[in-house]
Structure 1
């Protein structure tokens, strides 16, 4: 008498997203430092690819870098904090499942 058993499981999945985003973002001067530098903050919400994308920026700019058109390049923002986030079906698909996030939080490497 003999018995054999074999099981094979396979699966793959992938999601990719690539965006090039060029935007003009309006900011507000929230404080003027003692040396005259401007502390700025601003945000923008955009509907893109069936989801909402959020861009937030904050940092410090020198008044001398502000152009006559009242603009400044992002490369001229000191202590820049840039947040790019969103929600929607693409973000949901790309998010790691909760159980995997849990085990990775315990993994020391």
Structure 2
């Protein structure tokens, strides 16, 4: 089992207002760290009535939520398979 948690806020833009009044949203936040840059990208659909007086929405109220967390730099590159692993798992390896 894999478990991750994110805590924080992210600003989003409304990309589209659907016929039923729901809002298609998308936002991205970049973080610069010692070892590189990381980003969090969020897309989904919210109901306009779920936007509170502080202009925020709880993450549990985002339908079709898609959350991407990735980055660049030494830490991120360390997560990628090396050239030998790519060779043995690639299309040229017959076994």
Same fold (TM over 0.5): yes
Runs of 4+ in 1 over 4 A off after TM superposition: none
- Rg larger for: 1
What's the CA shift string for 1:46-76, capped at 9, x where partnerless?
0124210111000000111111111011121
More strand by share: 2
Give the counterpart of 2:24 among 35, 39, 43. 39
Q: TM-score, normalised by structure 2?
A: 0.81
- Cα RMSD after superposing both structures: 2.0
How many pairs align? 89
Q: TM-score, normalised by structure 1?
A: 0.71
Q: Unpaired segments of 5 or more residues in structure 1?
A: 1-18
More off after superposition, 51-60 vs 94-103: 94-103
Q: Unpaired segments of 5 or more residues in structure 2?
A: none
